[in-house]
Every structure is written in structure tokens, then in C-alpha cells.
């Protein structure tokens, strides 16, 4: 049974927000649009890939219909070659929330990037400042050695951090390596010391927990729908715009597999199988992350009315 909203009211008087989290393909976007439409809210996207312009199909951005129905923030924020990190997300999300509150809008945060959600709701573990030269060296080493070089190195230096990151998540792998190489202390230890005890908001955490077999079926279906919807053409279009195939964001799930198709290194069915497999692994890591959130209220994706009852009580509608 899902817990009641009363357990979340220790921060009464602070700005309120509802978070809808869960693994990829669990129905977060549709639920967020439904709930936001019912409670005069706007949505803050907490997705580390949807911030990039032109990456629409491969990142499963909300449809044009969903975006017309409810205003979304933090979509299409930066160009594909630009860097984007959790600190910038937090700044932009806070600015969007401040603007929404001034206009009398409620706030719903929707996404599967657990680090972004944690930073927004419980504070940010800063670590040492960025070092552009070190980052460049790490990326150069990855390009020269190939494979999962960065991930393998992080497994040696910070196994807990490596366990949470996809081998192709170059941005976060570089940051985790940067932290341990500059400070001598693994990122996982920085995070443990921080404790994430800040509470800037009165937050209701809603987690979607689909049946595993159904989720995996949905992942396979979504991957095929992405290809049928033009994922290969989207990637080709990015290349034609002048974006390098080696950009970190284009090494992520979906784009990496379709690159092999375009370069005649893989057949489409083989690429689809690999894409679905990597997406299932991502979903597993996301669930591991969100299960560690003590305030998460878990629901099956179809329990919209039960979720709405909790949200309405939380917002006192």
C-alpha cells in the first residue's frame, strides 16, 4: 500500500512540488501531463538528455500535443555539443520554479535522472571545481583506447560510482573520474559525506514501479517505435547539421546503435536488440537509484486515480 501524503508535510511553508520518477518507459510523461492538467501546474523535466535540442525521438521527449497541453521547462535548453551538468540543471530548474510560483502555477517535476531530482530536492554535492584540461585528456584517452575505457577506469577508482553509471555516459564518467583524480577522494565518498539533507521544498515523491516483464515488453516496443518514427533519420539529420558523431550525447542509448547502422557496421534488427538490452539495463539502474529514496511513494503506472488522490491532498485542492 502506498503511504499517505501526511508523512511529507514536515516542510509545510516551503514551496511545494510533486516529483514523478521511475524507470524509462514506465509512463512518467503521460502521468505528469495528466496530473499537471488537473492541478494548474507546469512541468519541469528532469531528464539529462532532453535538455539537448534536435534530440527528440531518441530521448522520448514529450510530444507536441503534450507540450501544448502543459507547458514544459528544461527541454531544448542547449546545443548537442554543449556541456550540461547537474549544477546547471539545478540553477535552471530553480529559476523555472521561481517563475512558475510568481505566476501562480503549481510545480510537477518529471524525469528519470535520479541525480537531477536529488540535487533539486535535497541539495548538491559540489566536489572539486571542474578542470578543463583534465576533462580533455580523459576524453582523448577514451577516443584513443575506445571501448568502455572510462567506465573500466572508474571501476578501479570508485566502484560504487561506476555501478550507477552506464559505460557510455561519458559526461558523468568524466566528472566522477575528475573528482577522484583531483581530490584523491571518490565521488561516492563526497556524496556520502554530504548526506543530501537539504530540504528546500515541501516535496511529494511519486515513484512508478511497473511489472518487470511488462516494462521490458514496453521497452522493446518503444525502441521499435523510435526507429519506425525516424530515429535513424534524426541521427542523420544531426550529422548533416554538422554535429560530430563522436559527441558524448550521441554515444548514448539509441544514437550509438543507429550510428552503427548508418555506418554499415550493424543490421537494423541487431541494433534494435542491442538498444533494447541497454535500455533494460538503464531501467534496472534507475530502479536501484529510486528504491534508495526513503520518501518515495510507489504506485503501479495504471493507478492514476490513487495517485491523483494523494496529489490533490498534498496540494490541498
pLDDT digits (tens, 9 = 90+) for 131-180: 889 988 998 888 888 768 899 999 999 999 898 888 878 878 988 999 89
Task: Check if the beta carbon of residue 117 is closer than 8 Å to that of residue 19.
Answer: yes
Treating both helix axes as pointing N-terminal to C-terminal, what angle do 212-228 and 268-291 enclose, rounded to 10 degrees? Answer: 140
- Provide the pLDDT for residue 196: 58
What is the SS3 assignment for 9?
A: helix
What is the SS3 assignment for 52?
A: strand
Residues 185 and 200 in one domain: no
C-alpha cell, 245: 558523431
Residues 202 and 299 in one domain: yes
Residues 208 and 181 in one domain: no
Using 50, 70 and 90 to split pLDDT, how confident is the model at 10? low
| Mean pLDDT within 271-300 | 96
Query: What pTM value is reported for the model?
Result: 0.81
Residues 298 and 153 in one domain: no
C-alpha cell, 271: 541494433
Using 50, 70 and 90 to split pLDDT, how confident is the model at 129? confident
Question: Could you tell me which residues are beta bridge partners of residue 45?
Answer: 110
What CATH number did the domain enclosing 148 receive? 1.10.20.140
Q: Is the pLDDT of residue 119 over 50?
A: yes
Using 50, 70 and 90 to split pLDDT, how confident is the model at 1? very low
Handedness of CA 36, 84, 112, 53 (dihedral sign): positive
Residue 29 sits in which domain range? Answer: 5-125+195-315
CA distances from 159 to 2, 30, 119, 146 (A): 33, 35, 21, 20
Residues 38 and 117 in one domain: yes
The C-alpha atoms of residue 299 and residue 209 are separated, in whole angstroms, by 6
Using 50, 70 and 90 to split pLDDT, how confident is the model at 207? very high
- For residue 304, the surrounding DSSP H or E stretch is helix 304-315
Number of domain units in the chain: 2
Residues 156 and 204 in one domain: no
Residues 221 and 239 in one domain: yes
Task: Check if the beta carbon of residue 272 is closer than 8 Å to that of residue 257.
Answer: yes
Amino acid at each position: 500500500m502506498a503511504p499517505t501524503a501526511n508523512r511529507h508535510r514536515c516542510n509545510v511553508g516551503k514551496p511545494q512540488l510533486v516529483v514523478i520518477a521511475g524507470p524509462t518507459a514506465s509512463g512518467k510523461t503521460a502521468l505528469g501531463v495528466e496530473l499537471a492538467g488537473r492541478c494548474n501546474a507546469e512541468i519541469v523535466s528532469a531528464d539529462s538528455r532532453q535538455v539537448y535540442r534536435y534530440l527528440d525521438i531518441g530521448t522520448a521527449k514529450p510530444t507536441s500535443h503534450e507540450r501544448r497541453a502543459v507547458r514544459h521547462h528544461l527541454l531544448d535548453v542547449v546545443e548537442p555539443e554543449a556541456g550540461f551538468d547537474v549544477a546547471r540543471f539545478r540553477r535552471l530548474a530553480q529559476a523555472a520554479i521561481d517563475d512558475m510560483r510568481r505566476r501562480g502555477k503549481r510545480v510537477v517535476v518529471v524525469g528519470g535522472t535520479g541525480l537531477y531530482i536529488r540535487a533539486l530536492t535535497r541539495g548538491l554535492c559540489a566536489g572539486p571545481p571542474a578542470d578543463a584540461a583534465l576533462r580533455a585528456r580523459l576524453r582523448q584517452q577514451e577516443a584513443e583506447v575506445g571501448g568502455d575505457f572510462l567506465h573500466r577506469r572508474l571501476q578501479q577508482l570508485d566502484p560504487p560510482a561506476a555501478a550507477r553509471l552506464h559505460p557510455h555516459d561519458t559526461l558523468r564518467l568524466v566528472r566522477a573520474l575528475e573528482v577522484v583524480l583531483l581530490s584523491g577522494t571518490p565521488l561516492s565518498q563526497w556524496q556520502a559525506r554530504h548526506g543530501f539533507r537539504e530540504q528546500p521544498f515541501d516535496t511529494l515523491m511519486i515513484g512508478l514501479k511497473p511489472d518487470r516483464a511488462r516494462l521490458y515488453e514496453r521497452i522493446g516496443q518503444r525502441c521499435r517505435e523510435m526507429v519506425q518514427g525516424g530515429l535513424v533519420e534524426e541521427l542523420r539529420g544531426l550529422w548533416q547539421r554538422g554535429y560530430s558523431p563522436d559527441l558524448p550525447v550521441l554515444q548514448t542509448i539509441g544514437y550509438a546503435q543507429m550510428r552503427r547502422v548508418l555506418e554499415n557496421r550493424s543490421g537494423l534488427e541487431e541494433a534494435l536488440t542491442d538498444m533494447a538490452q541497454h535500455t533494460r539495463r538503464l531501467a534496472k539502474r534507475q530502479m536501484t537509484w529510486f528504491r534508495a529514496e526513503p520518501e518515495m511513494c510507489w504506485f503501479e503506472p495504471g493507478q492514476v486515480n490513487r495517485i491523483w488522490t494523494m496529489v490533490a491532498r498534498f496540494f490541498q485542492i
